[in-house]
């Protein structure tokens, strides 16, 4: 131990001697008087011990207050000048018009393009791919409005629906699958034109078909667990009732 510590033992003694030789500091002469005065006056709280947190001194709050005032003034002087609409919060114009239309108006969609519309709707993968690759010609969509005075007017809809990408949901669910659906492609009505056919395949994303058995098994196990728990709860309720009756 001594060998590990190179310091001689008396080195600490020297330090002790030096420290003990320091002059003694005495309390000020009026210490007792001040103390007893404080006690007699009940002034137990020393000014030093009062919270002196510099964060909360008034002069330190001035810049923060000024900043806050400036922000408030900015809002008052320059009210909301942001004219850009939130596209997610507004309806597309065509739909908004359709929703707002009077009940006695009839909506039809007529494609100005030559050719059978149903053919377009039921187009297969090939055609869809072609459409995707080529720059598709502008498809104009119109709305025929039958006015109360039996006058028929045709309005051009700014929003273009792509029928080739649509499928009738009712008939799809009813089992009457369209040729397009048979071909493994199909999208919901008005689900948008921008969506690629490869991205969405009916209700199941492509590539998830393989997961179906696994998902089904998981679903079954959840259902089984649920029914077990339900039975347990029923039994517990019955037991409670029996106890209460007893």
Partner 1 sequence: MNRKLTELQDEELIKEFQDHNTIAAYEILVKRYKDPLMNFTYRFLGDKDACTDIVQETMIKFYLNKDSYKSFAKFSTWIYTIAGNLAKNELKRRKRRSILSLFNDDDEKSLQIEDKNIISPERSADGEIKNKMIQDALLKVKPVYREVVILRDIQGLSYEEIAEITELSIGTVKSRINRGRTQLQKMLKGIYKE
Residues lying near partner 1 in the complex (CB under 8 A) are found at: 7, 11-12, 14-16, 18-20, 22-28, 31-32, 34-36, 38-39, 44, 46, 48-49, 52, 54-55
Q: How many CB atoms lie within 10 A of CB 131?
A: 17
Question: Does residue 139 come out as left (phi exceeding 0), alpha (psi in the -120 to 50 range) or beta?
Answer: beta
* C-beta of 56 vs 78, nearer to partner 1: 56
- Give min distance, CB of 12 to partner 1, in A: 5
Q: Tell me the longest C-alpha to C-alpha distance in the chain.
A: 119
- Give min distance, CB of 55 to partner 1, in A: 7
With H, G, I as helix, E, B as strand and everything else as coil, classify residue 188: strand
Let me know the angle formed at the C-alpha of 239 by 237 and 240, rounded to the nearest 5 degrees: 65
How far does CA 48 lie from the centroid of its chain?
Answer: 51
With H, G, I as helix, E, B as strand and everything else as coil, classify residue 196: coil
Q: Tokens 């929703």 map to which residue?
A: 99
- Give min distance, CB of 45 to partner 1, in A: 9
CA distance 129 to 114: 20
* C-beta of 30 vs 149, nearer to partner 1: 30
- Give min distance, CB of 191 to partner 1, in A: 59
* C-beta of 32 vs 241, nearer to partner 1: 32
* C-beta of 44 vs 59, nearer to partner 1: 44
- Give min distance, CB of 68 to partner 1, in A: 21
* C-beta of 43 vs 236, nearer to partner 1: 43
């Amino acid at each position: 131990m001594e060998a590990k510590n190179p310091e001689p033992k008396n080195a600490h003694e020297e330090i002790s001697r030096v420290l003990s030789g320091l002059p003694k500091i005495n309390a000020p002469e009026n210490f007792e008087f001040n103390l007893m005065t404080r006690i007699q006056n009940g002034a137990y709280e020393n000014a030093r011990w009062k919270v002196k947190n510099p964060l909360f001194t008034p002069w330190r709050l001035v810049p923060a207050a000024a900043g806050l005032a400036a922000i408030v003034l900015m809002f008052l002087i320059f009210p909301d000048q942001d004219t850009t609409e939130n596209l997610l919060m507004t309806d597309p114009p065509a739909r908004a018009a359709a929703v707002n239309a009077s009940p006695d108006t009839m909506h039809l969609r007529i494609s100005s393009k030559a050719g059978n519309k149903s053919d377009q709707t039921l187009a297969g993968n090939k055609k869809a791919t072609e459409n995707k690759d080529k720059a598709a010609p502008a498809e104009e969509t119109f709305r025929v409005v039958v006015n109360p005075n039996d006058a028929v007017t045709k309005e051009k809809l700014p929003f273009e629906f792509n029928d080739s990408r649509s499928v009738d949901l009712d008939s799809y669910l009813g089992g009457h699958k369209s040729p397009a659906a048979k071909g493994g492609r199909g999208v919901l009505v008005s689900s948008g034109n921008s969506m690629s056919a490869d991205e969405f395949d009916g209700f199941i994303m492509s590539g998830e078909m393989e997961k179906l058995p696994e998902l089904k098994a998981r679903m079954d196990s959840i259902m089984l667990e649920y029914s077990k728990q339900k039975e347990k709860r029923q039994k517990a309720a019955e037991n409670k009732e029996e106890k209460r009756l007893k």
